[in-house]
Chains A and B, each alone.
Chain A
Amino acid sequence: MCDYSGKLVAWMDHELLDSEAADVEHHVLACAECRRRMDAYEQVSASLVAYCDAAVDQKTPSSLRHWVPVLSGVAAAAVLSLVFFLRAPIKQIPVRPQETLASTAIVPETAPTPFKAVHRQRSLSRMKTPDASWTPAGPAIQIVIPEEAMFPPGAVPEGINFVADLDIAADGSAQGLRLQP
């Protein structure tokens, strides 16, 4: 390597003293290797300036550009999720929104209770704790029993009719029979 190679860059940048600069200039005129190196250094320096100009002229920071595909994917997923949720539960929307709103409006101090839990509790309480004082509003079916079926022949008291109240369950079976004098 040429002895003057260590001073070429400083000579190109006009950073050498006048005496040193004249010496290097005299050498460069005679050394083809130093002229080739000098051309290479000038080319790299110009490329670096263009590189910096291109970097500062970018409209979008490169760090954001790396996020563009990710952000696009997230946006697409969000749109698809929104479309899915708007289409799927349409039938459920009118079922109980008013009860939910009403409960939160009436009892603001307590935390809102899930709809299904309340519904399940209400149905269970009705089935497991039957009201003992419940009586039917009236006889479902009135049956007239023939006197021959209840008394032996000749022992039937005259002027008396027996009427029975029969309770019929929902499945059609008889659950209770009460005789009324």
Chain B
Amino acid sequence: MSGDSLPLILPLSHFATDSCEATTLYRELRRPLLRYLVCLGLSSDEAQDVVQDAFLSLHKHLVSGGPRDNIRSWLFRVAHNQARNRQHTYDRRFGTPLDPDLDAISQAATPEEVVLEKEKFRRLGKAMRLLTASERECLLLRAGGLRYREIGEVLGISTSTVADTVDRAIKKLAEKCNV
């Protein structure tokens, strides 16, 4: 009867291994994904939905035996494409000024630091709105810790193009923010 139990054991053990790997990736990449999606312009609820769908797709990808290299860029690409599908809310974050009454700012030590932090964020938000969509996406993915090769895989552009775009965007931000 061991032959009957073999088809049951193998898929379950395979599922458990993939679930453990997906759980580890979830703990590591959930916040960077959320941060990228929110800064792209999605609301908090929309970003949560996209991240959940992306990890569900990752689980199916792992279960179906998909390639396991470049999983981080694979996840960001799935989330990025889903964000693109929600195009009607895509430029909300940098289309409107970010509310300066942020909880993170209120935790600053002194009122002077709060004022300086708000002013810095206001200028940064204004400068980000002046960038092209590609420049913003490259900068946000770079802020999420992705390498140029991974950014190129997410956006579907070459690594050299990513390097040029990041260089140009950083210089624009530094100039507009008077740093």
Contacts and interface: CB of A to CB of B under 8 A. Distances in A.
B42 to A, nearest CB: 9
Interface in A44-81: 44-45, 47-59, 61-66
Interface stretch (A9-17, A85-93, A155-163): A9-17
Interface residues of A, number: 31
B174 A54 contact: no
Interface string B155-179: 0000000010011001101100101
Contact of A43 (B36, B38, B43, B179): B179
B35 A63 contact: no
What is the predominant secondary structure among interface residues of chain A facing chain B? helix
Contacts, number: 102
A9 B99 contact: no
B150 to A, nearest CB: 11
Contact of B148 (A15, A37, A41, A43): A15
Contacts of A48: 124, 128, 139-140, 143, 173
Interface string A19-55: 0000000000000000001001101110111111111
B83 interface: no
Nearest to A5: B171
A143 B178 CA distance: 116
A65 B100 CA distance: 11
What is the predominant secondary structure among interface residues of chain B facing chain A? helix
A57 B163 CA distance: 29
Interface in B31-49: 31, 34-36, 38-39, 43-45, 47
B166 A13 contact: yes
A96 B137 CA distance: 67
A47 B126 CA distance: 13
Given A15-B147, A47-B124, A62-B96, A56 B31 contact: yes
Contacts of B171: 9, 41
Given A51-B125, A58-B103, A40 B140 contact: no
B167 A6 contact: yes
9 contacts: A10-B167, A13-B148, A43-B179, A48-B140, A50-B121, A55-B35, A58-B103, A61-B43, A62-B96
Can you list the 8 inter-chain pairs with the closest CB atoms, starting with the nearest? A54-B104, A40-B179, A62-B99, A56-B35, A54-B102, A61-B43, A9-B167, A40-B174
